[in-house]
Amino acid sequence: MNANDLLLWLSARRSGSWPQFRGGVVAFAGDDDSESEDRFPLHQQIRLDLQRLAHVEFFARECESGWRVAPPVLALSGSGEACLGILCGARSDGLLDRFKVAATGMELNAIELPSGPTVLTVRSNQERDLSRLAADSQIAFQKDAPLAILSRLPVVSPPRRGQVANEFPEGADWKIEEFDTVTFGWGALQRREASRRRTGLFRFTIHFQPPRHFLRWDGITYEVPRAIGIYTLLRRRRKQVLEYDRSRKTLRIPAGCRPMHLVERGLVLCSGLPPSFDPGSIALRYTQVPEDTASLAAQILLQEIR
């Protein structure tokens, strides 16, 4: 597993298709054996890490069917005496050399991830030092990255009046599941039952296709992104799922309710670390999240932090 080489490869190629990315994962990170064992596929895990650490954009504008590497940025989190700079975006050997030389005298940390590229962070008491580091490394500088990203995101909202309704996909091959707001898991059900539901979120999967999510809202069906559907439904059921530990500055979210990737990016850029999975409570734990950032993320998700 060498996600660093994968990131160098992605950076040199700049953009590509999804199959090319999968081919790159196999070439640099090894064969993906997780699919056969009903686990989260390795290439999806790597994709998530690259996406939330702001290295690569997937399926975004100008790379709708694939990926494109983001330009290198030193993303700043925190302020005052606790400034943390995280190296995000594209990498090259030359860039890494410049960055390490420019960071001489600062607290440079390299954190190895199980399924992502090494996280390079720099701590400094002065924001100005990190700004100079970015300039010396010839990369962009982003102040208050978590807040800047989160404050630009739209709030999850239920379907509007006049929004175009959709229909469940036809065909007997589709596997249909319903989201359970108690267990935060998906349970199978029949198409007829799904059609009868007045409110609910349904996942339609068919082999080798990305799943499609449909929200039944007052008897009308809308196709929505997964996280939007989940948090809209949780709001309707008045379920608060975000837990914030003020003493440890950690935000805990049930694994089944993983938020949109840009919200995740805002939370991950607080520490530079992807969320850790707590198998006991089946939850994702985001560390070093300031309270105002956690509160902002919760508002975007129509939640309140407990």
Partner 1 sequence: MNYVLMIRLRIVSRPLFRLLRWLFPKRNGGKSYGRMAENPVAPGEKSALKAGENLPIPIPVKETQEDMPQSATVSVPSIVDELASVAAASADATHQFRAEKIQPLPEAAIEIKNDIAVEGSIGGATGMPATGEAAHLLQSSDGRDNFELPQAGSAPNPPADESPVTAVAFPEQRIAEGRGIGLEIETLLEPQQTALNSEADEGEASIVNRIEADHVEVLNRSGSPEDVIQPMGGTAVELRPVDEGVTNQESRAASRPPEQVSSYPGLKPPRPAKQTRARSGDEPRVRKAVFSSVESEARLRIHLVFNNRGDAIRALTLLPDRRDEMPDELEVAGTQGTFFFSRFRDDAYESIRLPDAGAALLGGVEWRGKEAVNQSLRWVLRGREVYVLAPGPLIADLGGFVSVPRLLLNEENLVLARKTVRVDVVSALAAAGCDPTVIDDPTLGVPSDWLLFKGVKPSRALPMRDEQDVFNALCPLTDIEPHFEGGIKLARQTWLAGHPPEIRFTGAIDDSFRAKIDGKDAELTEHGYLAGGWDGEGAHELWYADKIARYTIRRCAEDWTAWDAYGFGAGALICGAQVLPASGGQRRQVRVPRQNSILIGAEPGQIFNTHPRPDLRLKDLVAMPPFDPVWSVPSNPAHLDKKIARVVTVGEIKPVVKIRTRGLGRTERGRIAAWCSAILDAGRKGLLIEGENTQAAPAWREYRVEAKRLKRSMR
Of residues 110, 87, 257, 244, the one with CA closest to residue 182? 257
Question: From the CB of 145, what's the least distance to partner 1, in Å?
Answer: 5
140 or 189: whose CB is closer to partner 1?
140
Which residues contact partner 1 by CB under 8 A? 5, 8-9, 11-14, 19-20, 22-23, 26-28, 30-31, 33, 36, 54-55, 57, 60-63, 68-73, 75, 79, 86, 88-90, 92-95, 138, 140, 142-145, 147-149, 151-155, 162, 207-208, 262, 265, 269, 292, 295-296, 299-300
Question: From the CB of 154, what's the least distance to partner 1, in Å?
Answer: 5
Position 66, amino acid: G
Question: From the CB of 124, what's the least distance to partner 1, in Å?
Answer: 17
106 or 140: whose CB is closer to partner 1?
140
79 or 276: whose CB is closer to partner 1?
79
Strands 175-179 and 140-142: unpaired
- Structure tokens belonging to residue 257: 């309710």
- Characterize 112-133 residue by residue with b for buried, 16 or more Cβ atoms within 10 angstroms of its Cβ, and e for exposed: ebebbbebbbbbbeebebbbeb
d(CA 33, CA 42): 8
Question: From the CB of 88, what's the least distance to partner 1, in Å?
Answer: 4
Question: From the CB of 196, what's the least distance to partner 1, in Å?
Answer: 29
15 or 195: whose CB is closer to partner 1?
15
d(CA 296, CA 306): 13
Within the chain, strands assigned E span 15-17, 56-58, 66-69, 73-77, 83-88, 107-111, 119-124, 140-142, 175-179, 186-188, 200-205, 212-217, 220-223, 243-245, 250-254, 276-278, 283-286
Question: From the CB of 240, what's the least distance to partner 1, in Å?
Answer: 16
33 or 180: whose CB is closer to partner 1?
33
CB 267 within 8 A of CB 244: no
13 or 197: whose CB is closer to partner 1?
13
d(CA 159, CA 221): 10
